[in-house]
Homo-oligomer: A and B are copies of this chain.
Amino acid sequence: MISPIKAAEALAIFNGQGAMRMLGARVVEIADGVAEFELDFRDELSQQAGYFHAGVVSTLIDTAGGCAGFTRMPEGSDVLTVEFKINLLAPANGEKIVARGEVIKSGRTLTITQGKVFVYKDGKPTLCALMQQTLIAVARKSNPA
């Protein structure tokens, strides 16, 4: 079970990212070791063929993996992405993508996640990306406010 504080902090990470607002991403779920976000297509999110840009797909799943990992990190941590690797399995051609990150292994310092992105075309999902990610827990800076 995720504590209410951890859940609120994970949500605050999502909400604190200008990039999530720019994309127009929405939270589907944040739970213990899991985060799922979704994003509707619009022209600004496209690559040259009119599909979701691989970078946009990557941004959404990187963030989902990061929030998933954050839920397992020690109190007082902030999360940074050390690295990720993503395979684009199919053109992200559709009206919506849904990115789900899940913790595979969480340690004191490093947390490893996997992620999947589905693209919905006429309501039908297709797996379009697969990600593997390494996160690091760093000491949270005191609130600048």
Identify the A interface with B (CB < 8 A). Answer: 12-13, 16-19, 21-22, 42-49, 53-56, 58-60, 62-63, 66, 78, 80-91, 104-105, 109-110, 112, 114, 127, 130, 132, 134, 136, 141
A44 to B116, CA, bound (A): 25
B residues near A45, Cβ cutoff 8 Å: 18-19, 22
Residue of B nearest to A54 (CB): B81
> Which of B13, B55, B85 contacts A60, CB < 8 Å?
B55
- Is A58 a contact of B62 with CB atoms below 8 Å? yes
Given pairs A22-B45, A112-B130, 9 additional interface contacts (CB within 8 A): A16-B47, A16-B48, A18-B47, A19-B44, A19-B53, A54-B81, A55-B63, A58-B62, A82-B87
